[in-house]
Chain A
Amino acid sequence: MSVPDDLQYTAEHEWVRLEGDIATVGITQYAADSLGDVVYVELPAVGAALAAGAIVGEVESTKSVGELYAPLAGEVVEANQGVVDAPETINSDPYGEGWLVKLRVSEPPALMTADDYRTLISA
Protein backbone atom coordinates (compact mmCIF):
# COMPACT_ATOMS: atom_id res chain seq x y z
CA MET A 1 0.00 0.00 0.00
CA SER A 2 1.64 3.18 -1.16
CA VAL A 3 1.90 5.99 1.42
CA PRO A 4 4.35 8.58 0.05
CA ASP A 5 6.64 10.09 2.70
CA ASP A 6 6.46 13.61 1.30
CA LEU A 7 2.73 14.01 1.94
CA GLN A 8 0.60 14.69 4.99
CA TYR A 9 -2.54 12.72 5.84
CA THR A 10 -5.88 12.84 7.63
CA ALA A 11 -7.81 10.17 9.52
CA GLU A 12 -10.44 10.47 6.76
CA HIS A 13 -7.89 8.99 4.33
CA GLU A 14 -7.01 12.14 2.47
CA TRP A 15 -3.54 13.31 1.55
CA VAL A 16 -2.26 16.88 1.40
CA ARG A 17 0.74 18.22 -0.49
CA LEU A 18 1.66 21.68 0.76
CA GLU A 19 3.61 23.96 -1.59
CA GLY A 20 3.79 27.53 -0.28
CA ASP A 21 0.23 28.47 0.61
CA ILE A 22 -1.32 26.02 -1.88
CA ALA A 23 -2.47 22.62 -0.60
CA THR A 24 -3.21 19.91 -3.13
CA VAL A 25 -5.69 17.37 -1.76
CA GLY A 26 -6.58 13.84 -2.81
CA ILE A 27 -7.67 10.54 -1.31
CA THR A 28 -5.14 7.88 -0.38
CA GLN A 29 -4.56 4.66 -2.23
CA TYR A 30 -5.96 2.88 0.82
CA ALA A 31 -9.19 4.86 0.50
CA ALA A 32 -9.38 4.33 -3.25
CA ASP A 33 -8.80 0.59 -2.87
CA SER A 34 -11.42 0.36 -0.12
CA LEU A 35 -14.01 2.16 -2.22
CA GLY A 36 -13.43 0.00 -5.28
CA ASP A 37 -13.81 1.40 -8.77
CA VAL A 38 -14.64 5.09 -8.51
CA VAL A 39 -17.37 5.97 -10.99
CA TYR A 40 -18.49 9.44 -9.94
CA VAL A 41 -16.81 12.43 -8.33
CA GLU A 42 -18.33 15.67 -7.17
CA LEU A 43 -15.97 18.51 -6.28
CA PRO A 44 -16.48 21.95 -4.76
CA ALA A 45 -16.63 25.00 -7.01
CA VAL A 46 -13.59 27.18 -7.56
CA GLY A 47 -13.77 30.15 -5.22
CA ALA A 48 -15.63 28.27 -2.49
CA ALA A 49 -14.39 28.95 1.02
CA LEU A 50 -14.09 25.69 2.90
CA ALA A 51 -14.11 25.14 6.63
CA ALA A 52 -11.85 22.40 7.95
CA GLY A 53 -13.79 19.13 8.30
CA ALA A 54 -16.73 20.28 6.19
CA ILE A 55 -18.18 17.87 3.65
CA VAL A 56 -17.21 19.36 0.32
CA GLY A 57 -17.88 16.65 -2.18
CA GLU A 58 -18.22 12.95 -2.73
CA VAL A 59 -16.46 10.06 -4.33
CA GLU A 60 -18.81 7.29 -5.41
CA SER A 61 -17.81 3.76 -6.37
CA THR A 62 -19.88 0.92 -7.75
CA LYS A 63 -20.58 -0.20 -4.20
CA SER A 64 -20.48 2.81 -1.95
CA VAL A 65 -20.34 6.54 -1.43
CA GLY A 66 -17.41 8.21 0.27
CA GLU A 67 -17.76 11.75 1.47
CA LEU A 68 -14.93 14.14 0.85
CA TYR A 69 -13.93 16.29 3.81
CA ALA A 70 -11.93 19.47 3.65
CA PRO A 71 -8.73 18.50 5.48
CA LEU A 72 -8.01 22.13 6.23
CA ALA A 73 -9.66 25.51 5.84
CA GLY A 74 -9.03 27.37 2.64
CA GLU A 75 -10.30 28.74 -0.64
CA VAL A 76 -10.67 26.43 -3.63
CA VAL A 77 -8.34 27.69 -6.36
CA GLU A 78 -8.62 24.69 -8.66
CA ALA A 79 -10.80 21.57 -8.96
CA ASN A 80 -9.51 18.68 -11.03
CA GLN A 81 -11.89 18.39 -13.98
CA GLY A 82 -9.82 15.42 -15.15
CA VAL A 83 -11.10 13.18 -12.34
CA VAL A 84 -14.67 14.38 -12.85
CA ASP A 85 -14.42 13.28 -16.49
CA ALA A 86 -12.44 10.11 -15.74
CA PRO A 87 -13.15 9.09 -12.12
CA GLU A 88 -11.11 5.89 -12.53
CA THR A 89 -7.99 8.08 -12.41
CA ILE A 90 -8.47 8.12 -8.64
CA ASN A 91 -7.89 4.36 -8.56
CA SER A 92 -5.03 4.29 -11.04
CA ASP A 93 -3.05 7.31 -9.82
CA PRO A 94 -4.37 8.55 -6.47
CA TYR A 95 -1.30 10.66 -5.62
CA GLY A 96 -0.75 12.03 -9.12
CA GLU A 97 -3.34 12.65 -11.82
CA GLY A 98 -6.05 11.63 -9.36
CA TRP A 99 -5.69 14.74 -7.16
CA LEU A 100 -9.02 16.42 -6.36
CA VAL A 101 -8.70 20.09 -5.35
CA LYS A 102 -6.13 22.77 -4.66
CA LEU A 103 -6.77 25.08 -1.75
CA ARG A 104 -5.16 28.38 -0.74
CA VAL A 105 -4.56 28.07 2.98
CA SER A 106 -3.90 30.82 5.45
CA GLU A 107 -2.08 28.75 8.03
CA PRO A 108 -0.16 25.49 7.72
CA PRO A 109 -2.25 22.50 8.81
CA ALA A 110 -1.38 20.08 11.59
CA LEU A 111 -1.90 16.74 9.89
CA MET A 112 -0.59 13.20 10.21
CA THR A 113 2.81 12.14 8.96
CA ALA A 114 3.17 9.23 6.56
CA ASP A 115 4.33 7.05 9.46
CA ASP A 116 1.30 7.98 11.55
CA TYR A 117 -0.97 7.23 8.63
CA ARG A 118 0.67 3.85 8.00
CA THR A 119 0.04 3.00 11.63
CA LEU A 120 -3.61 4.03 11.27
CA ILE A 121 -4.35 1.86 8.25
CA SER A 122 -2.46 -1.15 9.55
CA ALA A 123 -4.42 -1.16 12.81
Chain B
Amino acid sequence: MQRSPLHDEHAALGATFTGFAGWQMPVRYSSDLAEHAAVRTAAGLFDLSHMAEISVTGADAGAFLDVALAGRLSALPLLKAKYSLLLDESGGIIDDLIVYASAEAEYLVVANASNRHAVVEALLARQADFEVQLADLTEQLALIAVQGPAARAILDHTEGLATRDELSRGRTLDTLGYYAAMGMAWRDSPVFVARTGYTGEDGFELYVDASDAVALWRALLAAGEAHGLMPCGLAARDTLRLEAGMPLYGHELSRDILPEQAGLGRAVAVDKPRFVGKAAIEAGPAGDARVLVGLRAEGRRAPRAEYSVLHGEDAVGAVTSGALSPTLGYPIAMALVHPDHRAPGTVLDVDVRGTRVPATVVPLPFYRKED
Protein backbone atom coordinates (compact mmCIF):
# COMPACT_ATOMS: atom_id res chain seq x y z
CA MET B 1 0.00 0.00 0.00
CA GLN B 2 1.48 3.35 -1.03
CA ARG B 3 1.36 6.30 1.32
CA SER B 4 1.04 9.95 0.54
CA PRO B 5 3.89 12.23 1.63
CA LEU B 6 1.19 13.75 3.87
CA HIS B 7 0.31 10.48 5.58
CA ASP B 8 1.65 11.42 9.00
CA GLU B 9 -0.20 14.76 8.84
CA HIS B 10 -3.45 12.92 8.24
CA ALA B 11 -2.81 10.51 11.09
CA ALA B 12 -2.03 13.44 13.40
CA LEU B 13 -5.34 15.06 12.39
CA GLY B 14 -7.17 11.88 13.39
CA ALA B 15 -8.01 10.67 9.88
CA THR B 16 -9.70 7.36 9.20
CA PHE B 17 -7.92 5.76 6.27
CA THR B 18 -9.14 3.65 3.39
CA GLY B 19 -7.40 1.69 0.69
CA PHE B 20 -7.93 3.35 -2.67
CA ALA B 21 -6.23 2.28 -5.90
CA GLY B 22 -3.27 0.89 -3.99
CA TRP B 23 -2.92 3.97 -1.77
CA GLN B 24 -3.83 4.42 1.84
CA MET B 25 -5.74 7.71 1.85
CA PRO B 26 -7.91 9.59 4.36
CA VAL B 27 -11.60 8.80 4.00
CA ARG B 28 -12.58 11.37 6.65
CA TYR B 29 -11.06 13.36 9.50
CA SER B 30 -14.14 14.27 11.51
CA SER B 31 -17.51 13.89 9.81
CA ASP B 32 -18.37 13.40 6.14
CA LEU B 33 -21.25 15.84 6.42
CA ALA B 34 -19.23 18.53 8.21
CA GLU B 35 -16.43 18.23 5.65
CA HIS B 36 -18.91 18.36 2.78
CA ALA B 37 -20.60 21.44 4.25
CA ALA B 38 -17.24 23.15 4.80
CA VAL B 39 -16.53 22.98 1.07
CA ARG B 40 -19.95 24.38 0.17
CA THR B 41 -19.85 27.23 2.70
CA ALA B 42 -16.16 27.90 3.49
CA ALA B 43 -13.36 25.67 2.22
CA GLY B 44 -11.95 22.17 2.34
CA LEU B 45 -8.37 20.93 2.08
CA PHE B 46 -7.79 17.71 0.16
CA ASP B 47 -4.74 15.53 -0.30
CA LEU B 48 -4.89 14.15 -3.83
CA SER B 49 -1.34 12.89 -3.96
CA HIS B 50 -2.56 9.50 -5.13
CA MET B 51 -3.58 10.97 -8.48
CA ALA B 52 -1.18 10.32 -11.35
CA GLU B 53 0.83 13.06 -13.04
CA ILE B 54 2.52 12.32 -16.33
CA SER B 55 4.55 14.92 -18.16
CA VAL B 56 4.62 14.95 -21.94
CA THR B 57 7.40 17.06 -23.41
CA GLY B 58 9.04 17.55 -26.78
CA ALA B 59 8.50 19.28 -30.11
CA ASP B 60 5.63 16.91 -31.02
CA ALA B 61 3.91 16.93 -27.63
CA GLY B 62 0.74 18.66 -28.87
CA ALA B 63 0.50 16.58 -32.05
CA PHE B 64 1.08 13.41 -30.05
CA LEU B 65 -1.68 14.20 -27.58
CA ASP B 66 -4.05 14.99 -30.47
CA VAL B 67 -3.65 11.39 -31.60
CA ALA B 68 -3.40 9.78 -28.17
CA LEU B 69 -6.35 11.55 -26.53
CA ALA B 70 -9.87 12.47 -27.60
CA GLY B 71 -9.49 16.25 -27.39
CA ARG B 72 -7.51 18.71 -29.48
CA LEU B 73 -4.72 19.45 -27.05
CA SER B 74 -2.44 21.12 -29.60
CA ALA B 75 -4.93 24.01 -29.59
CA LEU B 76 -4.81 24.39 -25.82
CA PRO B 77 -3.37 27.82 -24.99
CA LEU B 78 -0.41 27.96 -22.67
CA LEU B 79 -1.39 27.68 -18.99
CA LYS B 80 -4.90 26.51 -19.73
CA ALA B 81 -6.44 23.21 -18.66
CA LYS B 82 -8.70 20.88 -20.58
CA TYR B 83 -10.79 17.89 -19.55
CA SER B 84 -10.05 15.02 -21.89
CA LEU B 85 -10.48 11.29 -22.42
CA LEU B 86 -8.13 8.47 -23.25
CA LEU B 87 -10.01 6.06 -25.50
CA ASP B 88 -9.30 2.56 -26.70
CA GLU B 89 -9.73 1.48 -30.32
CA SER B 90 -13.37 0.61 -29.71
CA GLY B 91 -14.08 4.07 -28.31
CA GLY B 92 -14.27 2.84 -24.72
CA ILE B 93 -12.91 5.13 -22.03
CA ILE B 94 -9.56 4.04 -20.53
CA ASP B 95 -9.53 7.12 -18.32
CA ASP B 96 -10.76 10.65 -17.99
CA LEU B 97 -8.05 13.20 -17.34
CA ILE B 98 -7.12 16.83 -16.99
CA VAL B 99 -4.41 18.09 -19.31
CA TYR B 100 -2.52 21.31 -18.64
CA ALA B 101 -0.43 23.15 -21.20
CA SER B 102 2.13 23.69 -18.47
CA ALA B 103 4.96 25.27 -20.53
CA GLU B 104 6.13 25.61 -24.12
CA ALA B 105 6.04 22.13 -25.72
CA GLU B 106 5.12 20.67 -22.35
CA TYR B 107 1.91 19.20 -21.01
CA LEU B 108 0.98 17.79 -17.65
CA VAL B 109 -1.52 14.93 -17.84
CA VAL B 110 -3.35 14.20 -14.58
CA ALA B 111 -4.98 10.78 -14.44
CA ASN B 112 -6.99 8.79 -11.94
CA ALA B 113 -4.92 6.81 -9.44
CA SER B 114 -6.69 3.59 -10.40
CA ASN B 115 -5.75 4.09 -14.06
CA ARG B 116 -2.18 5.31 -13.67
CA HIS B 117 -0.54 2.28 -15.23
CA ALA B 118 -3.14 1.88 -17.97
CA VAL B 119 -2.65 5.52 -18.94
CA VAL B 120 1.14 5.31 -18.95
CA GLU B 121 1.00 2.11 -21.00
CA ALA B 122 -1.43 3.54 -23.53
CA LEU B 123 0.57 6.74 -23.94
CA LEU B 124 3.83 4.80 -24.38
CA ALA B 125 2.18 2.56 -26.97
CA ARG B 126 0.98 5.60 -28.95
CA GLN B 127 4.20 7.59 -29.02
CA ALA B 128 5.99 5.68 -31.81
CA ASP B 129 5.68 8.30 -34.55
CA PHE B 130 6.37 11.30 -32.34
CA GLU B 131 9.28 13.10 -30.83
CA VAL B 132 8.07 13.19 -27.24
CA GLN B 133 9.31 12.20 -23.82
CA LEU B 134 6.96 10.81 -21.21
CA ALA B 135 7.70 10.85 -17.51
CA ASP B 136 5.56 9.51 -14.69
CA LEU B 137 5.93 12.13 -11.95
CA THR B 138 3.32 10.67 -9.60
CA GLU B 139 5.72 9.86 -6.80
CA GLN B 140 7.73 13.07 -7.13
CA LEU B 141 4.71 15.32 -6.83
CA ALA B 142 2.16 15.92 -4.13
CA LEU B 143 -1.23 17.34 -5.09
CA ILE B 144 -3.16 19.45 -2.59
CA ALA B 145 -6.56 20.98 -3.38
CA VAL B 146 -8.27 23.89 -1.65
CA GLN B 147 -11.92 23.96 -2.66
CA GLY B 148 -14.74 26.26 -1.62
CA PRO B 149 -15.83 29.90 -1.66
CA ALA B 150 -13.01 30.90 0.70
CA ALA B 151 -10.32 29.12 -1.35
CA ARG B 152 -8.88 32.25 -2.96
CA ALA B 153 -8.75 34.19 0.29
CA ILE B 154 -6.94 31.30 1.92
CA LEU B 155 -4.31 31.11 -0.80
CA ASP B 156 -3.85 34.88 -0.58
CA HIS B 157 -3.05 34.53 3.10
CA THR B 158 -0.86 31.44 2.95
CA GLU B 159 2.54 32.26 4.34
CA GLY B 160 5.34 31.40 1.92
CA LEU B 161 3.07 31.15 -1.14
CA ALA B 162 3.79 34.01 -3.50
CA THR B 163 3.52 35.18 -7.06
CA ARG B 164 6.85 35.56 -8.84
CA ASP B 165 6.95 37.32 -12.17
CA GLU B 166 9.22 34.79 -13.82
CA LEU B 167 6.77 32.00 -12.98
CA SER B 168 3.38 33.67 -13.17
CA ARG B 169 3.59 35.34 -16.60
CA GLY B 170 1.53 38.25 -15.40
CA ARG B 171 -1.22 36.17 -13.84
CA THR B 172 -2.53 36.63 -10.32
CA LEU B 173 -4.82 34.43 -8.28
CA ASP B 174 -7.53 37.09 -8.62
CA THR B 175 -7.51 37.12 -12.39
CA LEU B 176 -6.75 33.45 -12.95
CA GLY B 177 -9.67 32.03 -14.92
CA TYR B 178 -11.46 28.73 -14.34
CA TYR B 179 -9.50 25.90 -15.94
CA ALA B 180 -6.37 28.03 -16.09
CA ALA B 181 -3.07 27.66 -14.27
CA MET B 182 -0.05 29.64 -13.22
CA GLY B 183 3.33 29.16 -11.67
CA MET B 184 3.78 30.40 -8.13
CA ALA B 185 6.56 30.10 -5.62
CA TRP B 186 6.28 28.11 -2.42
CA ARG B 187 9.18 29.49 -0.39
CA ASP B 188 12.07 28.67 -2.74
CA SER B 189 10.32 26.02 -4.80
CA PRO B 190 8.05 26.40 -7.79
CA VAL B 191 4.45 25.29 -7.31
CA PHE B 192 2.04 24.84 -10.17
CA VAL B 193 -1.38 26.26 -9.22
CA ALA B 194 -4.50 25.48 -11.24
CA ARG B 195 -8.00 26.85 -10.79
CA THR B 196 -9.76 23.56 -11.36
CA GLY B 197 -11.58 21.18 -9.12
CA TYR B 198 -13.97 18.34 -8.66
CA THR B 199 -16.41 19.67 -6.11
CA GLY B 200 -18.57 22.19 -7.98
CA GLU B 201 -16.99 25.09 -6.06
CA ASP B 202 -14.32 27.61 -6.86
CA GLY B 203 -10.98 26.17 -5.91
CA PHE B 204 -7.37 25.52 -6.63
CA GLU B 205 -5.15 22.50 -7.06
CA LEU B 206 -1.51 22.87 -6.07
CA TYR B 207 1.17 20.61 -7.51
CA VAL B 208 4.30 20.65 -5.38
CA ASP B 209 7.41 18.61 -4.96
CA ALA B 210 6.65 15.80 -2.52
CA SER B 211 9.36 17.10 -0.19
CA ASP B 212 7.47 20.41 0.20
CA ALA B 213 4.07 18.84 0.78
CA VAL B 214 4.04 18.79 4.58
CA ALA B 215 5.14 22.41 5.02
CA LEU B 216 2.67 23.67 2.40
CA TRP B 217 -0.18 21.59 3.87
CA ARG B 218 0.50 23.07 7.31
CA ALA B 219 0.72 26.62 5.92
CA LEU B 220 -2.62 26.19 4.12
CA LEU B 221 -4.27 24.80 7.26
CA ALA B 222 -2.93 27.72 9.28
CA ALA B 223 -4.09 30.28 6.72
CA GLY B 224 -7.47 28.57 6.51
CA GLU B 225 -8.18 28.58 10.20
CA ALA B 226 -9.77 32.02 10.10
CA HIS B 227 -11.83 31.02 7.04
CA GLY B 228 -13.40 27.78 8.30
CA LEU B 229 -11.09 25.51 6.29
CA MET B 230 -11.44 21.82 7.17
CA PRO B 231 -9.29 18.93 5.98
CA CYS B 232 -11.58 16.71 3.90
CA GLY B 233 -11.41 13.04 3.02
CA LEU B 234 -12.45 10.95 0.07
CA ALA B 235 -16.00 10.44 1.42
CA ALA B 236 -16.81 14.14 1.27
CA ARG B 237 -15.11 14.40 -2.09
CA ASP B 238 -17.41 11.73 -3.47
CA THR B 239 -20.66 13.36 -2.30
CA LEU B 240 -19.42 16.76 -3.52
CA ARG B 241 -18.57 15.52 -6.99
CA LEU B 242 -21.85 13.63 -7.21
CA GLU B 243 -23.85 16.78 -6.43
CA ALA B 244 -21.79 18.57 -9.07
CA GLY B 245 -22.70 15.84 -11.58
CA MET B 246 -19.09 14.91 -12.25
CA PRO B 247 -18.47 11.38 -13.48
CA LEU B 248 -16.19 9.04 -11.56
CA TYR B 249 -14.13 6.49 -13.40
CA GLY B 250 -15.27 2.96 -12.61
CA HIS B 251 -18.77 4.20 -11.86
CA GLU B 252 -20.05 6.46 -14.63
CA LEU B 253 -17.11 5.81 -16.95
CA SER B 254 -15.49 2.60 -18.14
CA ARG B 255 -14.13 0.84 -21.19
CA ASP B 256 -17.68 -0.34 -21.91
CA ILE B 257 -18.97 3.21 -22.26
CA LEU B 258 -18.56 5.50 -25.27
CA PRO B 259 -18.13 9.18 -24.39
CA GLU B 260 -21.48 10.09 -25.96
CA GLN B 261 -23.30 7.71 -23.61
CA ALA B 262 -21.85 9.54 -20.62
CA GLY B 263 -22.74 12.95 -22.05
CA LEU B 264 -19.07 13.60 -22.88
CA GLY B 265 -19.41 13.83 -26.65
CA ARG B 266 -18.07 17.37 -26.51
CA ALA B 267 -14.77 16.12 -25.12
CA VAL B 268 -14.10 14.33 -28.41
CA ALA B 269 -12.78 16.38 -31.34
CA VAL B 270 -14.31 14.14 -33.99
CA ASP B 271 -12.99 16.23 -36.88
CA LYS B 272 -9.35 15.49 -36.02
CA PRO B 273 -7.78 13.54 -38.91
CA ARG B 274 -6.57 10.78 -36.63
CA PHE B 275 -6.98 9.72 -33.02
CA VAL B 276 -7.27 6.40 -31.27
CA GLY B 277 -10.91 5.34 -31.26
CA LYS B 278 -11.96 7.60 -34.15
CA ALA B 279 -13.69 4.91 -36.22
CA ALA B 280 -15.69 3.69 -33.26
CA ILE B 281 -16.66 7.22 -32.26
CA GLU B 282 -17.81 7.97 -35.82
CA ALA B 283 -19.90 4.79 -35.84
CA GLY B 284 -21.41 5.88 -32.51
CA PRO B 285 -23.04 3.82 -29.82
CA ALA B 286 -25.82 1.38 -30.67
CA GLY B 287 -29.29 2.95 -30.74
CA ASP B 288 -30.28 1.20 -27.54
CA ALA B 289 -27.01 1.83 -25.70
CA ARG B 290 -27.60 3.12 -22.19
CA VAL B 291 -27.07 6.80 -21.46
CA LEU B 292 -26.17 8.63 -18.29
CA VAL B 293 -28.96 10.48 -16.49
CA GLY B 294 -29.46 12.17 -13.15
CA LEU B 295 -32.14 10.84 -10.81
CA ARG B 296 -33.86 12.53 -7.90
CA ALA B 297 -35.37 9.91 -5.63
CA GLU B 298 -38.06 10.18 -3.00
CA GLY B 299 -37.63 9.52 0.71
CA ARG B 300 -34.30 9.33 2.50
CA ARG B 301 -32.78 6.11 1.19
CA ALA B 302 -29.99 6.51 -1.31
CA PRO B 303 -29.93 4.58 -4.56
CA ARG B 304 -26.44 3.08 -4.67
CA ALA B 305 -24.15 1.81 -7.39
CA GLU B 306 -25.47 -1.25 -9.23
CA TYR B 307 -29.04 -0.99 -7.97
CA SER B 308 -31.54 -1.71 -10.76
CA VAL B 309 -33.54 1.05 -12.38
CA LEU B 310 -37.02 -0.12 -13.27
CA HIS B 311 -39.77 1.02 -15.60
CA GLY B 312 -42.82 -1.02 -14.75
CA GLU B 313 -41.58 -4.59 -14.66
CA ASP B 314 -38.64 -3.91 -16.96
CA ALA B 315 -35.10 -3.35 -15.74
CA VAL B 316 -34.09 -0.38 -17.90
CA GLY B 317 -30.80 0.57 -16.30
CA ALA B 318 -28.55 0.62 -13.27
CA VAL B 319 -27.41 3.21 -10.79
CA THR B 320 -23.73 4.17 -11.11
CA SER B 321 -23.42 6.43 -8.02
CA GLY B 322 -25.88 7.67 -5.45
CA ALA B 323 -26.17 9.35 -2.07
CA LEU B 324 -28.51 11.25 0.14
CA SER B 325 -27.38 14.69 -1.01
CA PRO B 326 -25.99 16.54 2.02
CA THR B 327 -26.59 19.93 0.42
CA LEU B 328 -30.00 19.29 -1.12
CA GLY B 329 -31.44 16.96 1.50
CA TYR B 330 -32.90 14.39 -0.88
CA PRO B 331 -31.43 11.29 -2.52
CA ILE B 332 -29.65 11.81 -5.84
CA ALA B 333 -28.06 9.35 -8.21
CA MET B 334 -26.52 8.99 -11.60
CA ALA B 335 -27.62 6.00 -13.63
CA LEU B 336 -27.10 4.47 -17.04
CA VAL B 337 -30.55 3.87 -18.55
CA HIS B 338 -32.06 2.86 -21.87
CA PRO B 339 -32.35 5.99 -24.04
CA ASP B 340 -36.16 5.74 -24.13
CA HIS B 341 -36.14 6.84 -20.49
CA ARG B 342 -33.62 9.69 -20.62
CA ALA B 343 -35.98 12.67 -20.81
CA PRO B 344 -36.07 14.89 -17.73
CA GLY B 345 -39.35 14.39 -15.90
CA THR B 346 -39.51 10.68 -16.67
CA VAL B 347 -40.53 8.79 -13.54
CA LEU B 348 -38.73 5.51 -12.93
CA ASP B 349 -38.18 3.31 -9.88
CA VAL B 350 -34.97 2.24 -8.21
CA ASP B 351 -34.86 -1.14 -6.53
CA VAL B 352 -33.42 -0.19 -3.14
CA ARG B 353 -32.68 -3.55 -1.58
CA GLY B 354 -36.05 -4.97 -2.47
CA THR B 355 -38.14 -1.81 -2.15
CA ARG B 356 -39.18 0.25 -5.17
CA VAL B 357 -38.33 3.88 -4.64
CA PRO B 358 -39.70 6.37 -7.21
CA ALA B 359 -37.01 8.45 -8.94
CA THR B 360 -37.43 11.23 -11.49
CA VAL B 361 -34.96 11.91 -14.28
CA VAL B 362 -33.47 15.37 -13.73
CA PRO B 363 -30.81 17.38 -15.59
CA LEU B 364 -27.22 17.31 -14.33
CA PRO B 365 -25.66 18.79 -12.29
CA PHE B 366 -27.84 18.41 -9.21
CA TYR B 367 -26.08 21.33 -7.56
CA ARG B 368 -24.61 24.48 -9.09
CA LYS B 369 -22.85 27.15 -7.09
CA GLU B 370 -24.26 30.65 -7.16
CA ASP B 371 -22.23 33.02 -9.30
Chain A residues at the B interface, C-beta cutoff of 8 Å: 33-34, 36-37, 39-40, 58, 60-63, 65, 88, 91
Contact = CB atoms under 8 A, between A and B. Distances in A.
B117 interface: no
Contacts, number: 40
Interface string B282-300: 0000000000000000001
Interface stretch (B25-33, B126-134, B342-350): B25-33
Nearest to B16: A33
Given A62-B33, A62-B235, A65-B353, A40 B323 contact: no
Interface residues of B, number: 18
B235 A63 contact: yes
B-side binding surface: helix, strand, loop or mixed? Answer: mixed
Contact of B301 (A33, A40, A62, A91): A40
Interface string B209-238: 000000000000000000000000001001
Interface of B: 16, 27-28, 31-33, 36, 235, 238-239, 300-302, 304, 323-324, 326, 353
A36 B31 contact: yes
A62 B32 CA distance: 7
B33 A60 contact: no
Given A39-B302, A60-B302, 12 more contacts: A34-B16, A36-B31, A36-B235, A37-B32, A39-B300, A39-B324, A40-B301, A62-B326, A63-B27, A63-B235, A65-B353, A88-B33
A63 B302 CA distance: 9
A118 B26 CA distance: 23
B32 A63 contact: yes
Contacts of A60: 301-302, 324
B324 A62 contact: yes
A70 to B, nearest CB: 17
Contacts of A91: 31
A67 to B, nearest CB: 9
